[in-house]
Structure 1
Amino acid sequence: MLPNRFALTQQTEEKLKREKLRTGVSPNILARELFFRSIEKGLVSEPNNEITFGKMVLEKTVWLGELEKITEEMLKHYYGQLEKNRAARIWALHVQSAI
């Protein structure tokens, strides 16, 4: 469902980099935790305007790690079958909404 490579929003990326400096926890680990925290809160809506993605583009296996299948199943459960780019956008918006 998700593409093999995708990015966070620029705003999220900057915050996760600051958190890494503060805590030593890598952005991909923080993103996993934030995604599920956001899922607990509920669905996110896509903004009408374009969102800006950051420069940190990682492989799906790096972003999601051992939670890859679970993450994709959660997206399918809440949003139905999505095209790859839209699934990545919603994933990034979930991570952003939990910060």
Structure 2
Amino acid sequence: MLPQTMWLKKSVEEQLQILKGKTGVTPNVAARIAFFRSIEKGFMFNREKDYKLSGSLKLDKFTWLGKTQMVTELLLKQRYPEYSDKELQTAWAAHVEDGVSAIRNHKGLLPLVCDL
């Protein structure tokens, strides 16, 4: 399914780091929240679009996804059944980028939690 090592765009990593500074939520947990926000919103990734993963925060799949690994992979496979494993990883990163836009401006943990 998803590769063992995954990463994001550099700009998304920076937004997750800023969010960590404001809320204390680690980038991997914030990425999970962002992914599911994007899924709920109905975002669809287009693999025809040139989407480059340029980040340096390369983490293993379990660190990025934690206990949401199975449901994350199932949602991606259901939404993109014809995608290769590498394309699914890119789709995951695009969903995180889409979802982080909804949570990146929170000033603290309480507003973030109340907005979920």
Q: Which residues in structure 2 correspond to 1:1-99 (within 5 Å)?
A: 1-42=1-42, 43-46=44-47, 48-98=49-99, 99=101
- Structure 1 unaligned blocks of 5 or more: none
Relative to total residues, which structure has the larger strand share, 1 or 2?
1
For normalisation by structure 1, the TM-score amounts to 0.92
Q: How far apart are residue 41 of structure 1 and its match? A: 1.3
Distance 2:49 2:21 in 1: 33
For normalisation by structure 2, the TM-score amounts to 0.79
| Structure 1 segments of 4+ aligned residues over 6 angstroms from their partners | none
Higher relative contact order (CA 8 A, sep 6+): 1
Q: Does the C-alpha gap of structure 1 residues 95 and 5 become closer, same or farther in structure 2, counting only changes over 3 Å?
A: same
Counting matched residue pairs gives: 99
CA RMSD of aligned residues (A): 1.3
- Structure 2 unaligned blocks of 5 or more: 102-116
Q: Percent identity?
A: 38
